[in-house]
Homo-oligomer: A and B are copies of this chain.
Amino acid sequence: MARLKLKLQLYCGDEIAMGPGKADLLEAIAREGSISAAARELGMSYRRAWLLVDTMNGCFREPLVEARPGGGSNAGAKLTAGGAAALAAFRALSAQVEGGASGADFEMLEKAIRKTPP
């Protein structure tokens, strides 16, 4: 049976304000407590992670990620309340959309597609 993959992205002009990669990064920042540790965990450069955070913070009316206070040169990062809420809403919306991919059209495609290429 065919496997369905759904990619949901929310745009701010031509920029992606939120999508699966950015949601994964927010989760890693919440878990790790810093952008650099989150980047390491996801196997991306610090520069790339920082740019993704910068895009999110610019696209949302309130920043999603902020520096943890008092860190000095070891300052970490954490999600704001708005960041945690946006992440939760994105995950819930993704699950809702995936749950809606059913019915006759999906079944027709699922039956017509092989499980693996011949």
From B3, B86, B96, B112, contact of A82 by CB (8 A): B112
What's the Cα separation between A109 and B4 when bound, in Å? 24
B6 and A6 contacting across the interface, CB-CB below 8 Å: yes
Contact B105 A96 (CB under 8 A): yes
Q: How far is the CA of A62 from the CA of B108 in the complex (A)?
A: 13
Residue in contact with A17 in the complex, picked from B2, B11, B17, B93, CB distance below 8 Å: B2
| Chain B contacts for A10, CB-based, 8 A | 2-5, 109-110, 113
A100 in complex: contacting residue of B13, B18, B92, B100, CB < 8 Å = B100
- Check A75 for interface membership: any CB of B closer than 8 A: no
A7 at the interface (CB under 8 A from B): yes
A: residues with CB less than 8 A from B are: 2-13, 15, 17-18, 55, 58-62, 82, 85-86, 89-90, 92-93, 96-97, 100-101, 103-106, 108-110, 112-118
